[in-house]
């Protein structure tokens, strides 16, 4: 299957960017689609990490204000996992370590790749690399975040079962923590062996 990118027009450039793509793509039944135009939100790519203390069988989650979630059932303070954008010349692993330090005061003993997923590929180019970050300590403080980035982060430590119950109840309602917690639930047996 092929596609042809015929042009990209810049519509807006600020903290994020908005571009208009002109393209056409090969159809499953053969031939090409007509030319289509789509406005695409250019956010960049991100890394998200679920800190997990194997010995205690606890995860560390963060809570922060999210302006895009004003209509969320519990309001725009979402329970999420550590995350940050990939800057030029950074590896995904270095971003994972940096964000764990900045947002939770933690350094991972080991980073275990979970998956990479596209956030909403019909309208944005953003993808997220997900990791499990194994830790042997729990956070010493409750509040984190960089003032220059206007971050105001509160930490929550809890068992995996409690976190999954919050997913089921809808109080954890953003994609990265839901995917990461469900991945850990599916693979938790291999981490019990590490703890013993």
Q: What is the dihedral of CA 72, 77, 83, 85, to 10 degrees?
A: 80
Helix axes 160-169, 175-195, angle to 10 degrees: 160
Question: Which position among 4, 39, 149, 151 bears the catalytic label?
Answer: 149
Distance between CA 79 and CA 104 in Å, rounded? 13
Annotation marks residue 26 as catalytic: no
Of 104, 57, 109, 111, the closest CA to residue 83 belongs to 104
Quick one: which H or E segment has residue 159?
A: strand 153-159
What's the chain's length in residues?
Answer: 196
DSSP 89: T
Residues catalogued as catalytic: 149
């Amino acid at each position: 299957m092929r596609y042809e990118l015929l042009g990209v027009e810049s519509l807006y450039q600020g903290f994020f960017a908005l571009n208009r793509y002109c393209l056409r793509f090969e159809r499953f039944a053969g031939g090409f689609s007509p030319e289509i135009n789509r406005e695409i939100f250019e956010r960049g790519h991100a890394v998200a990490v679920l800190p997990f203390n194997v010995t205690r069988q606890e995860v560390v989650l963060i809570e922060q204000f999210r302006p895009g979630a004003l209509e969320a059932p519990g309001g725009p303070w979402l329970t999420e996992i550590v995350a940050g954008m990939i800057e030029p010349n950074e590896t995904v692993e270095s971003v994972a370590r940096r964000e764990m330090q900045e947002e939770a005061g933690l350094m991972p003993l080991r980073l275990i790749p979970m998956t990479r997923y596209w956030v909403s590929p019909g309208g944005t180019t953003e993808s997220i690399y997900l990791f499990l970050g194994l830790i042997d300590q729990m956070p010493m403080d409750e509040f984190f975040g960089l003032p220059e980035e206007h971050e105001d982060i509160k930490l929550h430590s809890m068992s995996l079962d409690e976190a999954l119950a919050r997913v089921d109840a809808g109080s954890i309602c953003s994609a990265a923590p839901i995917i990461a917690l469900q991945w850990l639930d599916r693979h938790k047996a291999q981490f019990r062996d590490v703890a013993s």
